[in-house]
Structure 1
């Protein structure tokens, strides 16, 4: 008989997992309390980061940590009252970010990233979502020669070790690619391989429509009602109770809360982030996604305008918005590109789910039959959604996963 599967969480990871399970003969019900793609997947830089083989580590330099302590930067901000509860996570994050350990983590992380474009392309073609994709990479701009040279050297290492493609850009190259940028930069680096998405929420929605076209269904429901039912699982939804033989938790930043009720303890931290869309003044055009890496913000041309994104905010997941990083970024960005008016009624805020070792949690729950986990993708949820979905679906259906996911086992936190 066909096995029924519940997938909890309709972000890019959950939708991708649901597709791959449905393709493999499972009858899948995807459940979320929000419309698909309206959580963390709604707001991001819109990059499928083929170059992102090195996960974002915790700063190790004492001088930089002192500068962060003043809490006046764009790339990082913290709520002082939230730090006591986050100290354990931050300490473990800092420990794993040591140079030697970080390099080992990157080697385990790189195989997932290596398949990000090809796995997205599979779903993009199946969903007819090509109109949402730009295949022109993205650009990092540099304010100092020291930073430029260091990033060029790092790009050479990534190319040598992981096959990542890039181009060095001098000021003339940058001016030709982005004539409306203020040319107060000393050079730039263009990553050739990544793709960008002009509307991440619309991409997730297109994947959902494809999922439904192959027999899957989406229902509104709340993971708080999820629990064991006989040999399987059960959850209350707007259409009544749903029972299944197996279940996948792809709940992003809420996964720690949901899994705790089942007896698990995942050290899942949260990095909140903000974005806002802007018009462009006059006839100005931004042709590429551009990151001002030394200051920690990014501008991306989107369907809804030019999206300005911020770095990480360390705060309680449900704390009120404090978009001070966005205000700081806007002040700087207006001197870099002729941004016009704000187009959104208020800043968007989302939360990135992060593990201290910077690797996602993918695999079988250690203490429950028929329960599987897929969360903790930090800054690369959009990038890794389809890779995770395929690998987990293969594991669940008895196939050998096309990429080794043993390094992401839930057992590393819950033996």
Structure 2
């Protein structure tokens, strides 16, 4: 029996799987980077493996753009006001990020004698404040990033949410068009802005938030707007075709042929996940796994760095045996990080979020970043 599954009926499932893939791409790139530093990467490793994390982050941003607009445009659901939307997004992102930042500092300080950088110093009060406020600044290493290095992507997420909140406040359901226009304008301005030497300030903000990577939020917005207009005209395709197309798009995006090609490939991957698809039999298990994969993605992103150092040390000799062994260790690391990420989402992220919000999470609370 063939079952037709439409994103309108269960809008989160296709994107949940893509979110999980994006998080796993970041895990793999960081694992392979640790293997490289240990000098155990086998010969003949495809170049695209070094770009999986960049592709994952770009995909995260595109999904964020899509989800914000898609849910705002859904029939029967009025969009939140700008301030309410921004508050909800902050409460979604901040708690686990703050917790993992504290844990990272404690871990780094406790192991500083055994680390490659024995001169590790605790963050200053200013760095704590700027990191907590999602304000880009130069940290102790002279790089524009927060205390917890992975938090750089959250700077962009919060900035996008701010732009979208402004759009909601001014034009409600049409605010997506304003946000899309602002993102395009920022990228155009960014072509004339170079990296400043400042530690923090307007020039740092202008540089960071005009980088081409903000285009991926716009890609998500554009896909959502297009889908809103053409949703009834999308064909229902068999799952194998969609899977092959999605995999090919993500591989092309990771090849780093050009920025434009990466943007096109990510857009195709996003479009594929929101098409109706035909599944043979009941898709219950696929849906359940996809939901769990996506639910855990934010926790995977913020917790995987605590695991990969020990994992790389324990498996370095195995990974050095060749590409099949490297692939096996990559898969094992993804499964481990997924398990820990899901437990973190279930036992830490969700309970904290529910208590802070004072209610069960809505559809938009469960999604993105």
Determine if the TM-score, normalized by the shorter chain, exceeds 0.5: no
More helix by share: 2
More strand by share: 1
Q: Which has the higher contact order (CA 8 A, sep 6+)?
A: 2
Relative to the length of structure 1, the TM-score reads 0.26
